[in-house]
């Protein structure tokens, strides 16, 4: 589909008038409905958008010619003629996604049905391992396109997740000086030659859970990302909560131990210094060095520097007592922190995601047990603790509605609606 055809205004003449604007907004609304809810009949669209059958039929024909909409066959009759079913053309545009972490990263390409059109590629480089992460990502992304016969012109936009502090108003990273003082969307936009949107990693994962994961049908959910650090994504009334400056969810930096270790943030005894992947790895190395017996040593050929959170979780899943105890102890402190969150937010569910999610019950059992100790019974009873089933892919999935929202604003202007899962792209493509 050519870019001129994609323009919401393409078939309605160049001079916008009230009727044209109404039509453009209706097209945008219909794309949002299809994207969020899947296939629909004309009757269903009439009801949701409060329009007549002839006008929706006309719009469907027009959007079909433009390449946005496909006819997906005939549905079940509810009495009378069987209705035609419409939905988004999955190839109307593709979304490239990058989930950039400190030590590694993941990339993938998806269609407008949120289906993978490429493998999800894991790259063993991240923000902390190289100064050339941007060019590495570009090269790997272009290879991925080539391998899957994807043309760059098919890509509607690039969604990127990154860790650390991101200023919601300026769109700059306060944690990674390699990006300079420039808005991240400009840095990535220039590097890839694509409209780019940026979201904080844990927040993107929370959006992923909210659209595609265990938080899908829930409106008040907390998502805890446990990897090298500990982050929190807050979904309130079905929307992502950003906070005044975009810094909400720095759960890992609340103090747990006033006499504890120095955290990289400059404070003492943060939750991250006790229960994060980095803390667990540090402790495992130290205790094994001091003679602790564990299959972890064999897993890394006694090269203790090679221990990662993944190694510990794998060992625990194989029944290694030391690894299980490490996770159990982290669980106790996590529960202490989570009890504060439960008292403050009264969430329907807390989802544990990130690398730690691979530990499953080994992390949720001790958490559940200790929540009994720290949380008021009534509140505890109303909160379920779950382990993410999207696991590490949550971040990539979370970028998709954010990119689509930004693309819709670009092609159709800022209407009254918006996908509005709180996934408002705060520094989305302009
Ligand atoms: Zn800290």
Q: What is the pLDDT of residues 357-416, one digit of tens each?
A: 999 999 999 999 999 999 999 999 999 999 999 998 999 999 999 999 999 988 887 654
Distance 90 CA to ligand 1 centre (A): 43
278 and 228 in contact (C-beta within 8 Å)? yes
229 and 216 in contact (C-beta within 8 Å)? no
Q: How many angstroms separate the CA atoms of 291 and 47, rounded?
A: 69
Burial 11-39 (b: 16+ CB within 10 A, else e): ebeeeeeeebbebbbbbbbbbbbbbeeee
Residue among 100, 91, 178 nearest 138 (CA): 100
Distance 263 CA to ligand 1 centre (A): 5
pLDDT digits (tens, 9 = 90+) for 246-291: 999 999 999 999 999 999 999 999 999 999 999 999 999 999 999 9
Q: Check residue 18 and give its pLDDT.
A: 81
Distance 237 CA to ligand 1 centre (A): 29
Distance 267 CA to ligand 1 centre (A): 5
Q: How many angstroms separate the CA atoms of 291 and 381, rounded?
A: 42
Distance 421 CA to ligand 1 centre (A): 29
pLDDT of 12 above 70: no
What is the enclosing helix (H) or strand (E) of 114? Answer: none
Take residue 72 and report the two structure tokens written for it. Answer: 């997906």
Distance 243 CA to ligand 1 centre (A): 19
Distance 297 CA to ligand 1 centre (A): 29
Distance 283 CA to ligand 1 centre (A): 17
Distance 272 CA to ligand 1 centre (A): 6
Distance 262 CA to ligand 1 centre (A): 8
Residue among 133, 310, 340, 285 nearest 226 (CA): 310
pLDDT digits (tens, 9 = 90+) for 126-139: 999 999 999 999 99
- Rg of the chain in Å (alpha carbons): 24
| Strand-strand pairing, 40-41 and 84-88 | antiparallel
pLDDT digits (tens, 9 = 90+) for 29-55: 999 999 989 999 999 999 999 999 999
Q: How many angstroms separate the CA atoms of 6 and 404, rounded?
A: 13
Domains of the chain: 3-88 (1.10.10.10), 94-207+395-412 (3.30.420.40), 214-389 (3.30.420.40)
Name residues with Cβ closer than 5 Å to ligand 1, which is an ion. Answer: 253, 263, 265, 267, 270
Distance 268 CA to ligand 1 centre (A): 7
Q: Any residues with CB less than 8 A from the CB of 381 and at least 6 apart, and which?
A: none
**Better-predicted residue by pLDDT, 367 or 418:** 367
pLDDT of 24 above 60: yes
Centroid of chain to Cα 129: 22
């Amino acid at each position: 589909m050519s870019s001129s055809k994609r323009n919401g205004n393409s078939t309605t003449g160049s001079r916008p008038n009230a009727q044209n604007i109404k039509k453009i907004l209706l097209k945008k609304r219909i794309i949002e409905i299809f994207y969020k809810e899947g296939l629909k009949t004309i009757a269903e669209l009439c009801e949701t958008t409060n329009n007549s059958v002839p006008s929706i039929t006309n719009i469907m024909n027009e959007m079909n010619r433009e390449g946005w909409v496909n006819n997906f066959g005939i549905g079940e009759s509810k009495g009378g003629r069987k209705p035609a079913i419409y939905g988004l053309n999955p190839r109307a545009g593709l979304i490239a996604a990058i989930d950039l972490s400190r030590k590694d990263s993941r990339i993938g390409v998806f269609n407008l049905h949120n289906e993978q059109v490429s493998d999800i590629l894991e790259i063993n480089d991240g923000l902390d391992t190289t100064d050339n992460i941007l060019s590495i990502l570009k090269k790997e992304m272009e290879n991925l396109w080539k391998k899957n016969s994807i043309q760059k012109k098919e890509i509607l936009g690039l969604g990127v997740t990154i860790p650390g502090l991101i200023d919601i108003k300026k769109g700059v990273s306060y944690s990674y000086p390699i990006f300079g003082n420039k808005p991240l969307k400009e840095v990535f936009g220039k590097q890839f030659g694509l409209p780019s949107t940026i979201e904080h990693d844990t927040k993107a994962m929370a959006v992923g859970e909210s659209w595609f994961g265990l938080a899908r049908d829930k409106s008040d959910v907390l998502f805890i990302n446990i990897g090298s650090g500990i982050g929190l994504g807050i979904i309130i009334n079905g929307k992502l909560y950003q906070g005044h400056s975009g810094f909400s969810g720095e759960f890992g930096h609340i103090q747990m131990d006033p006499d504890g270790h120095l955290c990289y943030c400059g404070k003492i005894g943060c939750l991250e210094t006790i229960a994060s992947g980095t803390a667990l790895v540090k402790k495992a190395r130290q205790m094994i060095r001091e003679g602790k017996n564990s299959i972890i040593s064999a897993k890394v050929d006694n090269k203790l520097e090679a221990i990662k959170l993944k190694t510990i979780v794998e060992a625990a899943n194989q029944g290694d007592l030391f690894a299980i105890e490490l996770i159990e102890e982290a669980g106790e402190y996590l529960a202490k922190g989570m009890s504060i969150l439960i008292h403050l937010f009264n969430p329907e569910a807390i989802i544990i995601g990130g690398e730690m999610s691979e530990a499953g019950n080994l992390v949720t059992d001790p958490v559940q047990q200790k929540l009994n100790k720290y949380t008021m019974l009534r509140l505890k009873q109303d909160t379920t603790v779950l382990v993410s089933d999207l696991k590490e892919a949550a971040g990539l999935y979370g970028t998709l509605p954010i990119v689509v929202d930004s693309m819709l604003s670009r092609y159709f202007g800022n209407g009254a609606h918006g996908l509005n899962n709180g996934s408002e792209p705060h520094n989305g493509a302009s």
